[in-house]
Amino acid sequence: MKKTGFIAGAIVLGFGAFVLFTFVVMWLWNWLMPEVFNLGIVTFWQAAGLLVLSKILFSGTGHGHRWHSDQRKKYWHSRFEEKWKKVPEEKRQEFMQKMHDKGFNKETENE
């Protein structure tokens, strides 16, 4: 019963945030765009459509290529390891010495 109430509250809160954000976008558009770019004013539903369109265009739909931070970290770590193995040993030692001189110690790494 508590879980159902939490889900219902989250839905209501999310819907309320969407409506509020849509009104903010509509107000900002109607305040700025007609003066700056000589564009027309928008209605609430047009502002909501602009929000949905900008979400799709700028961040995708959330499916497919979005990775979790752990997956992204593992991917870039493995790419770095592949390249690091190709570096000659003397270059690696030289690099490690430079990093040590700058204060980056292997013992203090957070991994």
pLDDT at 37: 93
Q: Cα separation of 95 and 104, whole Å?
A: 11
Q: Percent of the chain at pLDDT above 90? A: 50
Gap between the Cα atoms of 102 and 52, Å rounded: 47
What rounded mean pLDDT belongs to the chain?
86
pTM above 0.75, yes or no: no
Q: What are the residue boundaries of the structural domains of the chain, listed by start? A: 2-59, 69-108
Closest CA to 54 of 81, 37, 36, 29: 29
